[in-house]
Structure 1
Amino acid sequence: MGLHHAMLGRAALGSFSKALPTMGETERAALEAGTVGFEGALFSGQPDFDALRMRGPNRLKPEEQAFLDNEVRALNAMLDDFEIDQGHDLPPEVWQFLRDKKFFGMIIPKAFGGLGFGHFAHAAVVTRIATVNVATAVTVMVPNSLGPAELLLSYGTQAQKDHYLPRLADGRELPCFGLTSPYAGSDAASIPDLGVLTEREIDGQMVRGFNVRFDKRYITLAPVATVVGLAFQAMDPSLPEGEQQLGITCALIPVPTEGMDIGRRHRPMNSAFMNGPIWGEDVFVPMDWIIGGEPQVGQGWRMLMESLAAGRAISLPALGAAMQQTTLYVVNAYSQIREQFGMPIGKFHAIGGLIGRMAVKLYASDAARRYTAAALDADERPSVASAILKVQLTEAGRQAVNDGMDILGGKGIIRGPGNLLGVAYRHAPIAITVEGANLLTRALIIFGQGAVRCHPQVLNEMTAVQEKDAEALGQALLAHGGHVMRNLGCSLFGAGLIGTPPPDLRAEAAMIARVSAQYALTADLAMGLLGGKLKRMELLSARLGDALSALYLAASCVWRYEMEGNAGLLPFARAAIRDQLGVAVQVLRELYANMPSRPLALAAPVLLRGNSALRGLRDREWLALADALRSDATLITQLCPDVGQPKAGGLLDLMHAFELAQPLAKELPDLNQALRRTASLEEAAATSHDPAAALAYLKAADRVIQVDDFPA
C-alpha cells in the first residue's frame, strides 16, 4: 500500500508544486495559530450534533454574575451617551470607577490582582456597557483584548508578569498596542518598523537590546497609555547576509521613554474613545523589555496570531451584539409608542418586516457568539470561528442600526440627548474596519485560512509538497478523493444525521448536514479547478467564506436552542436556521455561476439539489415574528438580555415610556385618539380608567417623540 501511495505522490508532486500556493513563515504562523472546532466539521461536510452539544451551556461564576449585576449596572448608570460624545472623553469619575473596580483587569488572574473572569463573562461585560455607550466599552475592551496583558499571560517572563500584571489589573498602568503602520495596514506582517540589535551603556553596564524606529497609527488608548506594546522587525547586522532578519518581535515600552512621541489623537468617526499615533526614533529597547525576553525575539507574529485567535471572538463581536440588541429594543418599543395614520407604526408591514428580520438575525449571530465563548471557556482557540464572528457580528450590527435609522425616520437623524441610535450609527464603520477589515477577513481568513486548517487533507497535502514527501502526498490524495466522493453522494442523495439534535429542530439539523456536504464538495471543486489562483480570486473565496459563516451561524442556533430550552423562542430559532441556510445555498449558486467552468455552472442545480425547503421566509412569517414581539414583551427581554440602563438620554426615556405602556396596552389606541382630538395630555389622560397612570405614560411618550433643538 505504501508503494501505491508513493507512486501516486510522485506522479502528482510536480503538478501540485505548481498549483498549490507557497507558504511563507508568517503565513504558516497564522495558519497554525489557534484550534479547529465545529467549523472544521462543517467544512468537512460531517457536522456531529453530539459534538456540538458538548460545548456549553454558557455559565457565569457567582462573582462574575455579581459583577454584572452590581459594578456593570452602576457603571452604566454613570454613562450619558450624548454628554460623553460631546465631551470627546469619558468623565473623570468614570475613568476612576473603571480603575477602582478593575474593569481593566478582567482577564488577569486573581493571583496577580485581577478579576480572573472567563471569556463569556468578559464578553457579557463589554456587551452590556456597549448597549449604553460604545466609547466606554472600547476603553474597557482594549486592555482585556489583544494587548500587553494577554501577551504577558501567555509569553511574558515571570519578572514581567510580577511587575506589570498587578499594575495593569488595578489601572495604575493603562496599555495600548502598536501594530498598524501607515504602509502596513491589512498586510500587518510587512511592518517596516525596524529594531537593530545593539548594546548601550546604562548605569555603567553594557546592555543588549534593539535600537528601534517606528511609526504607528490607529492605536486605541495611545493618547492616555502609560505602557506601549510594540511590534517591530528585529534584525542583527552582525549575522551573515540572508540571516540578519530575526522576525517580528513584541516589546513593552514604558511612557515616557526617550525618543518616543505619544499623546496626539485620531478621531475615528469623531468618537470619544482615545485613539492616536505613536512615533519613535532611536528608541533603545533593552532585552528585558522584549515580551518573553531574548528567547522570544522573532516570535512576535506567532504570539500575535495565537492571541488574535481568541481575542477576535470577544471584543468586536460584543460591540456588534450590543448594536443589534439595542436597536431591536429601540425599534420594537418605539414602533409601539409612535403612531401614524391612526395606528402604531410597528403594524405597518414595511416596518414589521424589518423588525422580524432584525430579531431573526440577532438570534443567529448571538447564538454563534455564545457558542464560541463556550468553546473559548473550554480552552479552545478557534481562529477561523473567531474571524467568522468578527465579520458576521459587526456586519449584523451595522445592518441593524441602518434599518433602525430607517424606522426612526426624523427622530433618528436629529442630534442631541434624545437621539436613540445616531452615535451607534456613526460607530458602526469602525467595527467593520479594525482587527482585520471585513473585506479582507471574508476572503483571506475565513476561507483562505479555513481551507487549510479546517479541510481534513489540504494542510497534509501542502506539507507533503513542501517537504517533497511523495508517500505522504499519495496518502493525502487518496483520502482526499474518498472525502470528495462521500460529499458528492451526500449532496445528491442526502446526508444522514450524525449525533442527536433536539427533536424540535431535527428537520433543520438534517438540512444543515446536507448543505454542509454541498459546501464541502463545492470548496473542493473550486480548489481543484483553480488551485493557488483561488487565493487571488477574492470574489469567489469571499463567497466560500460567507457560506461557511452561514453554516456556522445555523449550527449555533441548534446549540443555543438546546442549551436554553426556551420553547418561546423556537419560531425564531427555526427562522434563523432557515434564513442562514438560505444565505448559504444562494451564495453557492452565485459561486457556481461565477466559476470559470461552464460544465460546473451547468451541474450546479444537480449538485445543490434537495434544498427546495430553503426558500426565503414568506412575508407573513416575518410579520408573525414581529407581531409576537409586540404582543409578548418577555421575548424582547430574552433576545436583548444585555441592554443596560443609562444615566440619561433618549434610551432611558424610551425605557420609561415602554414600561409605563405595558399596563395600559389595551387602551393605548383610545388614549392616542383622545390626544389627537383634544391636543391636551391632561384631557386625553382623563378618558382613561387610571388617569394618573395614563398621564404619566403620555408625558413619557411625548418625551420620546420630541427631538432636540439648540440655539441658532
Structure 2
Amino acid sequence: MPLATLIGRWAMQPFSKALPPLGDTERAALEAGTVGFEGQLFAGRPDFDALAAAGPNQLSAQEEAFLANEVPALCRMLDDHAIDQARDLPPEVWRFLREKRFFGMIIPEAYGGLGFGHYAHATVVARIATINVATAVTVMVPNSLGPAELLLRYGTDAQKDHYLPRLADGRELPCFGLTSPYAGSDAAAIPDRGVLVEREFQGRRTRGFLVDFDKRYITLAPVATVVGLAFHAVDESRPEGQRDLGITCALIPVPHEGMEIGRRHRPMDSAFMNGPIHGRQVFVPMDWIIGGEAQVGQGWRMLMECLAAGRAISLPALGSAMQQTALYVSNAYGQIREQFGLPIGKFHAVAGLVTQMSAELYASDAARRFTAAALDAGERPSVASAILKVQLTEAGRRAVNRGMDILGGKGIISGPSNLLGVAYRQAPIAITVEGANILTRALIVFGQGAVRCHPHVLDEMAAVQAKDDTALGQALIAHGKHVARNLWRSLFGAPVLGDPPEALTAEARLIARMSAKYALTADLAMGLLGGKLKRMELLSARLGDVLAHLYLASACVWRYRVDAAPQMLPFAQAAIRVQLDAAGEILSDLYANLPTRGRRLMGALVLRRTAHLAPLRDVQLTALAELLRTQPDVVARLAPDLSEPGPGGLRDLMQAMALGARLGDETAALNKVLRRTRSLDEAARSATDPALALAYLQAADKVIQVDDFEGPARTAEGAADLSLSPAGPPAPSGPPPSARPPERTTPPRVPAT
C-alpha cells in the first residue's frame, strides 16, 4: 500500500473531527474570488518578480480626461460645511452627477456608461472624498455592490437592456437592501422571506414571490427609484426540508404596491441619503429576479463574488482620502500656526505624528493601488480586499484622529473653516459598513486566508469531504514538507525570491523572513488548535493582522518600483519598517496567548533574529518631518488625490500655503515682526514684497481664526439670560435663520432628469 494512502487512512478520522464544518454560506464566501500575492505571503515564499508583474496602474485616455476635467469641476462645486448643514447635496450637484454619468462609471459604454476600470473608479471616489465624503458615498454606491454590478454579471439580456442605460444616465437611482434589524453582521441569516406563488399581475397569470421584508441602513434608499433586494426564497409546495430555495436577489421599481421607503436615517448626521425599506406582501415577478428564474437561490454566491472585488475599491478609497486630507492639513497647518516663536510642525511631538501619518499612508495607498492593478488584470482577490477594507478605513480613522490632535482648538470648533471636523465625525461609518471591521478582522481575513491562501489546507479539506485516503495522505506529505521548509527559513533565514529594487533589497529580505515565520506560526496554530481556532477570534484576528501588515509592506516594494521616484525612498523604507515592526509585535503577542504548553519556547525559537525590527527612531521621524515641511513635491506624491475644493477651510489653507511658497524663507521673519507689532500691515511693510506679504499674512490669519455664531441674548447687566419661560428653554443658538437650512425629516425625492 502506498505511503500516502497509509498516512491518509491513519489521519482521516482525527482530521474529520479537527477540521471545522463548512456551511453553505461559508463555502460560498470561501469559493468567491481568487488568490494573488497574499497567497505567496501565507505560504512563506513571496516572489518579488511576481509582485512586479502586476505593473503600474493604467488609465485610458477617457479616464484621464474625466479625472482632469469632470472630477475637478465637481470638487469645486462642493462646500463641505454647507452640504453638511443642509444634509443633502445641492440640486446643481445632483444634476452634474447625472449629466456627467458619475453613477455609471462601471457600466460599459455600450449601455451608455463610462466603462471605467477599477483603478479609475477608485481614484474618482478618492478625489471626491478628499473634499466631501457625502458626495463620494453618493457616487460610490451605484458603482459598488448593488444593482449595476449584479446586473452586469448575472442579469438577463432584457434586464440589462432596460436598467443599465437608465442607471448610467441617472434616470434610475439604485439602492440595495441586505441588512435587516435582526441580521447585521450575520447577513446570511436575514429573516426576510419570499414565498413562491402565482397570481394575476399586469393582466396575466405570473409566477413570482410574495415577500415580507424589513431592511435598514440602506444608502440612497430615500431617493432610490429602484431597490435591489435580498431575501430567502421559499417554495411551500415542496416536501419538508426542501422548501428553502436560498437567498435570492431581485430588483423592485419605486413605487411598488406593498413597499414603503421609511423615514430617513442620519449616519453620524452625514448628508448622504440613508434609510429603511419595508415590505408587506410585496409581489416580485420572476422577471424581476436578477438573472431570472435560473438564479433563484444563488443570491448569496452572487453577493460574495461581487464583494470579493468591491471591498477593495470604494471604502479603501474613502480611507485613503481621509489619510491624504489629514496629512496635508496637519503638515500645512503645522507650518502656518506658530507657538513659542516656532511653527508647531517643528516641535517633535507634532513632527512625530505627521511622520507616522506619512509612513502609514505610503503603505496603505501602495496596497490599494497594487490591488487595483490586480483587479484590472482580471483578479478578484477576496482575502486582499478584506485586508484593504479593514486596514485603510482604520488608517483613515487614525490619521483624522492625529490630525485633530495637531489642530487642537481649531479642530473642535464647528463651522465653514473647520478642516477635519466633518471627516472626524464620519470616520466610523466606513469602519462599520460592508462588513464591520471587528467582524472582518476577527473572522474573514484569516478565516478565508487559512483555506484559500494556504497551499495545502483546501486540498486536505476536499480529501476529507471525499473520504479519499490517498489524496489526504498526499496533501499531508506536501504539508509536512511545507512546514519543514518554513521552520528552516524561520530559524536560519529565508532567500529573497525574484529581483526587488536594489534600494529595497534589505527590506525585501526582512519581508521574506517574516513571511516564513508567519507561515510557520499559522501552521502551528492550526495544528495545535484545529477547528477551535475558528472560535478563538482574538488569535485568528492576530494571524489576519500579520498577513495584512506583510501585504502592505510588500506593496511598498511594488510602489517604489512603479513610481520610479528616488526621493520617496526614505518613506518607502519607513513604511516597510513600520509594517514589519507591527507584524513582529503581533506575532509576539500571539505566542504569549497560545493556550498550549511550550508557547514561550516556540515563540522564542520562531521569533529569533527579529530584534532588529524596531519602530522608527526619533531621529528618523524628525528627518522625514523635515522633508515633508521643505519639499512640497513629497507631500504631493503622498497625497496625489487631494482636490481643490469650493469655499471652506481647506481652500483657505491651500491659498495660504501657495502664498507662503512664493514668500519662501521670508515667512519666518514676517511672523517675528507680527508677534512684535501685532499689526498685519506693519509686518507686511517689512517684507521685500509688501503686497505679497500682506496677502499671505491675511490668508494665514484666516486659517488660524475659527467660526463664531450668535449666542444667547444678554441682559442689560451683561449676563446671559438663561431663564426658562413656561414654554421651555430658549431656542438653540446657531447660524442666523437666513443661513440655516430648513429642517426636514424626509427629504424630497430627487426627480430623474
Q: TM-score range by the shorter chain?
A: over 0.9
Corresponding residue for residue 255 of structure 2:
256
User: Which residue pairs with 1:133 in the alignment?
Assistant: 132
* Range that drifts further, 653-662 or 461-470: 461-470
CA positional deviation for 1:66:
0.7
Whole-angstrom distance in 2 between the partners of 1:598 and 1:616: 30
Which residue matches 2:477? 478
User: Could you tell me whether the CA contact under 8 Å between 2:262 and 2:278 is conserved in 1?
Assistant: no
Take 1:387 and 1:87, find their aligned partners in 2: how far apart are those partners? 34
The amino acid of 1:570's aligned partner reads L
Q: Distance in 2 between matches of 1:594 and 1:691?
A: 65
CA contact (8 A) 1:224 1:263 kept: no
Question: Equivalents in 1 of 2:262, 2:22: separation in Å?
Answer: 39
Distance 1:682 1:56 in 2: 54
1:157 aligns with 2:156: yes
AA at the equivalent of 1:178: G
Residue equivalent to 1:596: 595
Equivalence for 2:388: 389
* Aligned counterpart, 1:345: 344
Q: Match for residue 324 of structure 1?
A: 323
Q: Say which SS state the counterpart of residue 291 (structure 1) adopts.
A: coil
Cα separation, 2, equivalents of 1:57 and 1:485: 36
Q: Does 1:80 align with 2:79?
A: yes
Cα offset, 1:665, TM superposition: 2.5
Q: Does 1:244 align with 2:243?
A: yes
- Structure 1 residue 501 corresponds to structure 2 residue 467: no
Measured in 2, the distance between the counterparts of 1:601 and 1:13 equals: 31
**Structure 2 match to 1:356:** 355
Q: Deviations over 1:391-418 (max 9, x none)?
A: 0000000000000000000000000000
- Specify the SS of the correspondent of 2:183: coil
Deviations 1:324-379 (A, max 9, x none): 00000001110000000001000000000000100000000000000000000001
Give the corresponding residue for 1:429. Answer: 428
CA distance in structure 2 between the aligned counterparts of 1:254 and 1:601, rounded to whole angstroms:
61
Tell me the residue number matched to 2:208.
209
Return the structure number with greater helix share: 1
Distance 2:454 2:39 in 1: 7
**Matched letter for residue 281 of structure 2:** D
- Give deviations 1:2-26, integer Å, cap 9, x for gaps: 7322221111111111111001111
- Listed as ranges, the matches of 1:240-639 within 5 Å are 240-639=239-638
Contact conserved, 1:181 with 1:217, CA < 8 A, in 2? yes
Structure 1 unaligned blocks of 5 or more:
none
Q: Which residue of 2 aligns with 1:706?
A: 705
- TM-superposition CA deviations, 1:115-163 (whole Å, max 9, x none): 0000000000000000000000000000000000000000000000000
Q: Which range is displaced more, 5-14 or 554-563?
A: 5-14
Q: Give the 3-state SS of the residue equivalent to 2:207 in structure 1.
A: strand
Q: Could you tell me how far apart the structure 1 residues matched to 2:285 and 2:338 are?
A: 67
| Secondary structure of 2:210 counterpart | strand
Q: Secondary structure at the match of 1:213?
A: strand
Task: State the alpha-carbon separation in 2 of the partners of residues 469 and 709 from structure 1.
Answer: 74
SS state of the match for residue 232, structure 1?
strand
Quick one: which amino acid aligns to residue 550 of structure 1? H
**Aligned mates of 2:404, 2:224 — CA distance in 1:** 35
Q: Distance in 1 between matches of 2:204 and 2:630?
A: 76
CA distance in 2, matches of 1:706, 1:275: 34
How high is the sequence identity, in percent, across the aligned residues?
72
Structure 1 position 263, deviation (Å) = 4.5
- Who is 1:647 aligned against? 646
Distance in 2, matches of 1:384 and 1:22, equals 20
8 Å CA contact 1:152, 1:161 repeated in 2: yes
Q: What displacement does 1:72 show?
A: 0.3
Letter in structure 1 aligned against 2:318: L
Deviation at 1:606, TM superposition (A): 1.7
1:610 is displaced (CA, Å) by 2.0
1:613 partner SS? coil
- Show the 5 A alignment for 1:665-676: 665-676=664-675
CA distance in 1, matches of 2:470, 2:147: 44
Per-residue CA deviation, residues 416-445 of structure 1 (Å, 9 max, x unaligned), is 000000000001000001011111111211
Deviation of 1:664 after TM superposition, in Å, equals 1.6
Shift of 1:596: 0.9
- How many Å separate the matches in 2 of 1:285 and 1:513? 54
Q: Distance in 2 between matches of 1:602 and 1:436?
A: 37
> So what's the TM-score if we normalise by structure 1?
0.99
Once the 2 structures are TM-superposed, how far is the Cα of residue 673 of structure 1 from its aligned partner? 1.2
Would you identify which runs of 4 or more consecutive aligned residues in structure 1 move more than 4 Å?
none
- 8 Å CA contact 1:216–1:277 kept in 2: the answer is yes
Match in the other structure for 1:109:
108
Q: How many Å separate the matches in 2 of 1:204 and 1:259?
A: 18
Corresponding letter in the other structure for 2:167: L
Deviation at 1:603, TM superposition (A): 2.3
Q: For 1:234 and 1:448, locate their aligned partners in 2 and report how far apart those are by CA, in whole Å.
A: 28
Mean CA deviation greater in 399-408 or 672-681: 672-681
The Cα shift of 1:599 comes to: 0.9
Q: Report SS of the residue matched to 1:55.
A: coil
Contact 1:388–1:446 (CA under 8 A) maintained in structure 2: yes
SS at 1:598's partner residue? Answer: coil
Determine helix, strand or coil for the equivalent of 1:181.
coil
1:529-551 Cα distance to aligned partner (Å, 9 max, x none): 11111011011000001000000
CA distance in structure 2 between the aligned counterparts of 1:201 and 1:133, rounded to whole angstroms? 47
1: distance between equivalents of 2:312 and 2:152?
Answer: 18
Q: Which amino acid aligns with 1:661?
A: G
SS in 2 for 1:283: strand
Match of 1:24 in 2: 23
The answer to whether the 8 A contact 1:685-1:691 is kept is yes
Amino acid at match of 2:321: A
* Structure 1 contact 346–352 (Cα < 8 Å) conserved: yes
Superimposed CA distance per residue, residues 242-277 of structure 1 (whole angstroms, 9 cap, x where no aligned partner): 111110000000000100011421100000000000
User: For 2:465 and 2:621, how far apart are their aligned partners in 1?
Assistant: 52
Query: What displacement does 1:600 show?
Result: 2.5
Separation in 2, partners of 1:321, 1:351: 21
Give the Å deviation of 1:59: 1.2
Relative to structure 2, which stretch is displaced further, 42-51 or 202-211?
A: 202-211
CA distance in 2, matches of 1:26, 1:331: 44
With 403-412 and 17-26 compared, the bigger mean Cα shift is at: 17-26
Deviation for aligned residue 1:613:
2.3
Q: Distance in 2 between matches of 1:56 and 1:223?
A: 42
User: Is the CA contact (8 Å cut-off) linking 1:148 and 1:176 kept in structure 2?
Assistant: yes
Task: Note the aligned Cα RMSD (angstroms).
Answer: 0.8
Contact 1:233/1:245 (CA < 8 Å) preserved in 2?
yes
Number of residues of Structure 1 aligned to a counterpart in Structure 2: 711
Shift of 1:514: 0.5
Verify the 8 A CA contact 1:31 1:452 in the aligned structure 2: yes
Are 1:124 and 2:123 counterparts? yes
Amino acid at match of 2:267: P
Separation (CA, whole Å) in 1 of partners of 2:357 and 2:581: 16
Q: Which runs of 5+ in 2 are unaligned?
A: 712-753
Looking at structure 2, the residues matched to 259 and 112 of structure 1 have their Cα atoms a distance apart, in angstroms, of 31
The residue number in structure 1 matching 2:692 is: 693
Following superposition, the deviation at residue 203 of structure 1 comes to: 3.7
**3-state DSSP class of the match of 1:17?**
helix
- Is the CA contact 1:232–1:250 (under 8 Å) kept in the aligned structure 2? yes
